[in-house]
Structure 1
Amino acid sequence: MPTVKANIAYILYNKYELKQVEISEILDITQPAVSQYIRGSRGKTTELSKDIEGAIEEIAENIYNYSESGKLTQEKVDDMMCEICKKI
């Protein structure tokens, strides 16, 4: 799970330009954890297949879109995270 969250945090920060605090609230983690994920000092120890990387990219995009529309809930985030974990 840390690898998935690290990748999602990285995408949300670099591609969608969300603030670290926003990402921490969305992923239900601390802001320092987000900072470490973005720097790559935490959570990037597992190599992922191209399929999983694509699924993570899609989840990050969905999280961003739901967030922008004001329809993002913790339940939606949890459901998306469960879906990616099933694929791993």
Structure 2
Amino acid sequence: MRPPCEIVVWYIIPTIRSELAKELLNLGMKQKEISELLDITQPAVSQYISDKRGHGIKFTDETHELIKIFAKDLKDGKLDQSGIISRICDICRQIKTEEIVCQLHKEKDNIPLNCNACVGSNTHHIPPL
């Protein structure tokens, strides 16, 4: 059984990158510029744009709006590296509140329907160290 964070790495982050690359392309950026901005390869950008990587998850309108704003701020040069990381984490946190991670975890790993271990669950609590 995979931990929920592995679901984020395999499915959520690639989908965020895919949506972000498409938004940047719509804003007039070239694939090479997008790859440099996101610190990924140009072939990865091509795969994100053509839905060969990071597709199949449907985000809410709220999440899409966060990605659109993020793309515009990236294109306009308003974010440094820490700002980029922070925005990706903000979007990921938003997605977790929608319980998409829990749904994927149950689907991909055949987790019981009553599981509450995923990070998106309201009943999940991390004990202090």
Please state which band the TM-score falls in when normalised by the shorter chain.
Answer: 0.7 to 0.9
- String of CA shifts for 1:26-78, please: whole Å, max 9, x gaps: 11111101001111111012111111111111111111112xxxx54222211
**Structure 2 residue aligned with 1:42, among 47, 53, 78?**
53
Structure 2: stretches of 5+ with no match in the other structure: 1-12, 96-129
1:81 aligns with 2:88: yes
Flag the structure with higher helix content.
1
CA distance in 2, matches of 1:73, 1:31: 20
* C-alpha displacement of 1:21: 1.2
TM-score, length-scaled by structure 1: 0.86
Q: Please give the secondary structure, in 2, of the residue aligned with 1:41.
A: coil
Question: Superposed, which structure 2 residues align to 1:4-19 within 5 Å?
Answer: 4-13=16-25, 15-19=26-30
Runs of 4+ in 1 over 2 A off after TM superposition: none
Report percent identity of matched pairs. 40
- Who wins on radius of gyration, i.e. which is larger? 2
**Structure 2 residue aligned with 1:53, among 55, 58, 64?**
64
* C-alpha displacement of 1:7: 0.3
CA distance in 1, matches of 2:39, 2:75: 15
Structure 1: stretches of 5+ with no match in the other structure: none
The answer (yes or no) to whether the contact 1:26–1:74 under 8 Å persists in 2 is no
